[in-house]
């Protein structure tokens, strides 16, 4: 059998092809696949790039499954729920200039690069029903209140998150910091803001963090508003053992006891003489004052 005969044997007869109609058009289009395959392709797009090609090739796909692929989604107090924005460019330039209104709209969003939500309206929870998938690797979530399932839905692909968000488990209890890190084994860095009352820290928080293998592979870890119930002694040992990680620790005397503050200052003085080789020393800030500046010219390795 020559190549022409082989190809001919694969051709599906007209009566087995899938006939589709595009809304608002009298034209019919045929696909050389059985209907069950077309339904599977329609309901299970493998990637955002593939989906964009499909809806460009035939409007039927969008008619049946209206998903809009966007590089980013930005939402803050200026936008609110009916005024979120994205970048009009193919990739996020962090300059949102395209307004998206979701009220009474049939489509869902497929976010590919960045999710940035910072408002007091808990917009993330309201936006989730409008999101088909979130593949954002960069993410800023501030002043949000989410369940574990909602959080996992948004963060499935994130690599470098920034969080000031309350996450509750199935019993309505606040999820501690170590559980958040456990749920994100793929991340490479994190910026985290602790709760003012330290409720997201448990007696085992630091103990569990320093045992996590993926945390030891971080390139950056920035912790803000660290409370006094955060085991600083254990964490300072972890920092000295993992000098390849760029650390930033920010303290405020409103969340610290006097004894804790003395401990932080003593460690900062020790860091100034610690040999860090080609790595940067941790940045430690107390009440907006740099106790240790990892890039400070006046501190040299012995």
CB 264 within 8 A of CB 284: yes
- How high is the pLDDT of residue 101? 81
CA triple 67-86-156, angle to 5 deg: 60
For the segment 225-250, the average pLDDT, to the nearest whole number, is 96
Name the burial class of residue 173, with classes exposed (0-12), middle (13-18) and buried (19+) by CB atoms within 10 angstroms of its CB: exposed
Signed CA dihedral, 145, 82, 190, 268: sign only: negative
Predicted confidence (pLDDT) per residue in 77-106, tens digit: 765 544 689 999 989 998 888 988 877 778
Q: Tell me the backbone φ, ψ of residue 255, rounded to 5 degrees.
A: -110, 10
Q: Alpha-carbon distance 185 to 137, whole Å? A: 13
What percentage of the chain exceeds 70 in pLDDT?
85
When the pLDDT of each residue in the chain is averaged and rounded to a whole number, the result is: 86
- Domain borders along the chain are 1-65, 67-292
How many helices (H) and strands (E) are present in the chain, helices listed first? 11, 14
Per this entry, what is the length of the chain? Answer: 302
Q: Tell me the backbone φ, ψ of residue 95, rounded to 5 degrees.
A: -130, 75
Residue with tokens 């600083």: 232
Tell me the two tokens of residue 254: 């409103």
Signed CA dihedral, 47, 52, 56, 62: sign only: positive
- What are 19's strand-pairing partners? 30
DSSP state of 12: P
Q: Alpha-carbon distance 92 to 76, whole Å? A: 17
Other CB atoms closer than 10 Å to residue 170's CB: what's the count?
A: 8
Q: Alpha-carbon distance 268 to 287, whole Å? A: 14
Signed CA dihedral, 155, 160, 166, 171: sign only: positive
| Banded model confidence at residue 189, pLDDT cuts 50, 70, 90 | very high
Tell me the two tokens of residue 180: 């958040």
CATH number of 67-292: 3.80.10
Predicted confidence (pLDDT) per residue in 148-173, tens digit: 999 999 999 999 999 999 999 999 99
Q: Alpha-carbon distance 165 to 190, whole Å? A: 13
Q: What is the pTM of this model?
A: 0.85
Burial of 196-217, coded b for 16+ CB within 10 Å and e otherwise, reads eebebbbeebbebbbeeeebee
Of 26-40, 55-69, 80-94, minimum mean pLDDT range: 26-40
Collapsing DSSP to helix, strand or coil, 159 comes out as coil
């Amino acid at each position: 059998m020559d190549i022409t005969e082989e190809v001919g044997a694969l051709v599906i007869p007209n009566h087995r092809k899938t006939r589709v109609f595009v809304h608002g058009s009298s034209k019919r289009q045929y696909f050389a696949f059985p209907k069950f395959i077309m339904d599977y392709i329609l309901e299970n797009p493998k990637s955002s790039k593939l989906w964009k090609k499909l809806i460009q090739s035939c409007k039927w796909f969008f008619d049946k499954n209206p998903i809009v692929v966007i590089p980013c989604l930005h939402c803050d107090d200026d936008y609110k729920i009916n005024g979120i924005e994205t970048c009009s460019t193919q990739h996020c330039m962090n300059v949102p200039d395209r307004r998206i209104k979701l009220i009474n709209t049939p489509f869902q969003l497929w976010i590919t690069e960045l999710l940035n939500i910072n408002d007091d309206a808990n917009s993330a929870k309201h936006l989730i029903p409008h999101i088909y998938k979130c593949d954002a690797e960069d993410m800023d979530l501030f002043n949000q209140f989410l369940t574990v399932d909602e959080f996992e839905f948004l963060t499935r692909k994130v690599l470098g998150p920034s969080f000031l968000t309350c996450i509750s488990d199935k019993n309505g209890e606040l999820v501690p910091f170590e559980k958040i890190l456990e749920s994100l084994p793929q991340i490479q860095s994190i910026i985290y803001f602790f709760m003012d009352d330290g409720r997201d820290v448990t007696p085992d928080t630091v103990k569990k963090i320093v045992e996590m293998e993926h945390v030891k592979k971080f390139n950056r870890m920035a912790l803000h508003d660290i409370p006094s119930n955060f085991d600083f002694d254990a964490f300072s040992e972890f920092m000295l053992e993992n000098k390849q990680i760029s650390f930033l620790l920010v303290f405020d005397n409103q969340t610290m006891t006097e004894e804790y503050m003395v401990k932080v200052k003593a460690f900062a003085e020790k860091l100034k003489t610690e040999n860090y080789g080609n790595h940067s020393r941790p940045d430690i800030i107390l009440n907006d004052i740099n106790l240790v500046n990892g890039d400070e010219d006046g501190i040299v390795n012995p």
